[in-house]
Structure 1
Amino acid sequence: MDSVTTKKLTPKRKKKITFSNTKIMGQTCQTFSSSVETSLEKDLRRLVNDERFHDITLKCSDGKIVFGYKPILATRSNIFNELIFTESKDNILSFNNINSNAMKVILEYLYTSKIRLENLNVDNFIEVYYAAIHFKLSFQSEMSDVVSSILKAGNEDTGKKLLSDFVNKFSLMENDMDDLVLSILVKSVATNKLTKNENDSLSLEGLRYLLMKTIDTKNSFATPEIEIWKYALMRAKREAMTYYQEIRPYLIPFARYINLNRMDPEEIRTHVEPYNIYSNVDIKDAYFSISSDRGLGFIRGAPIFKWKNDKPDLIISDHGFTVEANKFTQPKSILGDLIFKGRGVYEWNISVEKLCKTIYIGICNIYADLNKSDRDYHGWVLGSDGYVYHEKSHKWYDAKFKEGDKVTIHLDMKNRTCAFSINDNKKPLVSKWNIPSQVYPIVSLGHGSKLGIERVQI
């Protein structure tokens, strides 16, 4: 399996990752460190790839050579020990799947028991992780914390690039694996909406693996099924144009991982049928299920969304999942970027991180005018004072919430009903709410209040 060349990812903002004294499963880990080195570490590090003292040559997959010292390699790694004494010819070892960059990081660890964090980044992480698994090195278990920090420091494209690199490097479409780093990457990409007009780093194989692993997920997922289809269609068209080929062969592998029962009839008729990817039987079965009220919700998993970044008086952070009002800001309403529709039953959680005066949490008509300022809320909402509100009416609901609480919205689009829970204590359905067929999630806050969207991970 050869290494692949990928375009360099440019994050919005670079952040330094520090993992000195990181706790892993209750144990203190110092493998990844940016602390001051000891004199011995510095001296041993100078031996890495030192041509003067080497006694073995490591030929890497990118055609470059790394020089090594057999006593250290054989003593520190059982894999190297076996290779040196069984496969070394003229003191040369060849590695078809490990490039020179990753090999230098591995040697750094074998020589010093440390890896400098500046040597790990979005462009080489998967190569290093593959090499760590290949040589059965103990620090591979700690790489989950490193990848989490890389994802946090990067942008939405970071996870897409890493997942695509992982799927390619480990040939996952042929040999799936149970791996914590892989699970973190899948969950990261799943919680960021796939947008058909974006030119991102998610490969077709990376997309297919994502859909395969999440088809029956109970975890958070950000992209409606019809938008998954549109995204896959866009990527397939781009790939087909690159190689002057028909689009259909690129779309066919996705058919088993995109569920027509999560679309409405008009979406299937307009966006899916023209490409002849699904059989007539599959199409008819989908229409029948939907018409007989056996269709599924419009999105797989637990729906997750981000706050629309269109309110200058509100601060969006945590990659779009948290909204905060300046303490001098009068109450403002902000929408989530996901339209709830169809006939499914949905839930999402809002964490109350700061509460100043009254805040409101609920749903809103997609056509609502948020510029109307005759009241502090819009839509059908629960106030932190325990009342439910809609337009100019309100009534007692006995569901006060405070700072530190979790508010759950229970939305039944089939019956057009809504209820709320406070810290998992569910209250009755709100009566006499005429909920429309399409709604946005909404919150209204001001005066320094802060709310976060909770991700569901099982």
Structure 2
Amino acid sequence: MPLTEDNILLNLLIEEIATILLNDIEIGRLSITALQYFLFCTYEKEIPFATPEYEVFRYSAILAAKQISDDTYKALMKQLPTLEQIDNLIQVENKLIVNHQKVAEELEPLIEYIDFRRIKRGQIDFIEPLKVIPAEIIQHNSELIDSDLNNIRGIPIYRFKESELFWDRLGSGSKAIIENNGKVVYAPNDLNSWRIVRAKMLLENNGIYEWDIIIEKTCFWSWVGVCASKNFDYENPAGRQSSGWVLGTNGYCRNYDYETYYCPSFHEDGARITVHLDMNKRTCSFTVNGTKYPKVSAWNNLPSKLYPIVSIKYPGQYRIQPHQKK
């Protein structure tokens, strides 16, 4: 099958892989040639993309090292921490990789399609001592690093960290109880009318935001969605307000006086709803129990600042967590 831009199936595959964190793809599942083509197709292209550019380099370098030997692969894994490890202030001993020149040769076809301008200076400090890319590339791109440039290419897909997603006690209706380090909210048995519970995270930048809501215990018509940052009443149902946009377990989407059928009902405990919020297009769509549905057609001009929300009453219990792509 020729690798051409006209190949529809191949382009669909590229777009699907772009929504997956490269770290979640086992080393060896992609060849150097396949990864090169993937990076070429997504370089400076406006398509949804999930992996930060530092992790793009890291995955590429580790894959290149794997072509040399297992020892080289293991050595590079130790020398090149993940972004999460960097955030946790992991200490890495700067040692030269024995086969660094061979790794550089394997890595060379990929370097052209890695945007080093998106990699922060502190992250470059982990890359430079490895000597797996030419010093002039490091120097040239260090001068071009743009702090205003997003660290994810294309249309960024933001995958939240566990520490970033939790319910906001100050943004909740009365009686709702938040526990488990802010991850779980439930309604006590005397909460018989809907209350709104908002997540702490404000969504206001361009890009695509995704998170999961697990309905651990359903109530009569649970609701999941987003609300505006202003003019919102946490004591009343979200779907009856002009600043609330929600999907109910009855399969209908609601916003103020507008209601439309969206998907089959899902009243069972354990239902998983993924919210896909596109702040570039100001649209929203949902995945319910693994089935992704299209954007809600009427929600095509959402506000520029939104919060994740749920509507809850007894015996409802909801968990919020980063989206886990299956």
Say if 1:298 and 1:341, in contact at 8 Å, map to a contact too. no
Structure 2, unaligned runs of 5 or more: 1-75, 92-119, 126-140
Instruction: Name the structure 1 match of 2:292.
Output: 426
| Among candidates 167, 174, 181, match of residue 319 of structure 1 | 181
The 5-angstrom pairing of residues 155-174 of structure 1 reads none
SS in 2 for 1:348: strand
Distance 1:457 1:435, change over 3 A: closer
Q: Does 1:360 align with 2:228?
A: no
Say if 1:331 and 1:376, in contact at 8 Å, map to a contact too. no
The alignment covers a number of residue pairs equal to 199
Q: Does 1:404 align with 2:270?
A: yes
Q: Does 1:209 align with 2:80?
A: no
- Inter-partner Cα distance in structure 2 for 1:439 and 1:380: 10
Q: Does 1:340 align with 2:203?
A: yes
What TM-score results when the alignment is normalised by the length of structure 2?
0.51
- Inter-partner Cα distance in structure 2 for 1:305 and 1:429: 23
Once superposed, what is the RMSD of the aligned Cα atoms?
Answer: 3.8
Structure 1 residue 351 displacement after superposition: 0.7
Bigger Rg, which one: 1
Say if 1:359 and 1:444, in contact at 8 Å, map to a contact too. yes
Distance 1:452 1:347, change over 3 A: same
- Inter-partner Cα distance in structure 2 for 1:419 and 1:453: 17
- Inter-partner Cα distance in structure 2 for 1:321 and 1:356: 18
Distance 1:407 1:253, change over 3 A: same
| Runs of 4+ in structure 1 over 6 Å off | 298-303
Distance 1:304 1:422, change over 3 A: farther
Structure 1 residue 426 displacement after superposition: 0.9
- Inter-partner Cα distance in structure 1 for 2:142 and 2:204: 26
| AA of the residue aligned to 1:305 | L
Distance 1:419 1:295, change over 3 A: closer
SS in 1 for 2:315: coil
Structure 1 residue 398 displacement after superposition: 2.2
Cα-to-partner distance string for 1:296-322 (whole Å, 9 max, x where unaligned): 457776995100023440111111111
Structure number with the bigger relative contact order (C-alpha 8 A, sep ≥ 6) is 2
What TM-score results when the alignment is normalised by the length of structure 1?
0.38
| AA of the residue aligned to 1:393 | Y
Structure 1 residue 444 displacement after superposition: 0.5
Distance 1:337 1:280, change over 3 A: same
Distance 1:300 1:381, change over 3 A: closer
| AA of the residue aligned to 2:274 | T
- Inter-partner Cα distance in structure 1 for 2:255 and 2:87: 44
Instruction: Name the structure 1 match of 2:40.
Output: none
Cα-to-partner distance string for 1:324-372 (whole Å, 9 max, x where unaligned): 0112212100110111122211221111111121111001111132246
Instruction: Name the structure 1 match of 2:50.
Output: none
Structure 1 residue 254 displacement after superposition: 3.6
Instruction: Name the structure 1 match of 2:282.
Output: 416
SS in 2 for 1:338: coil
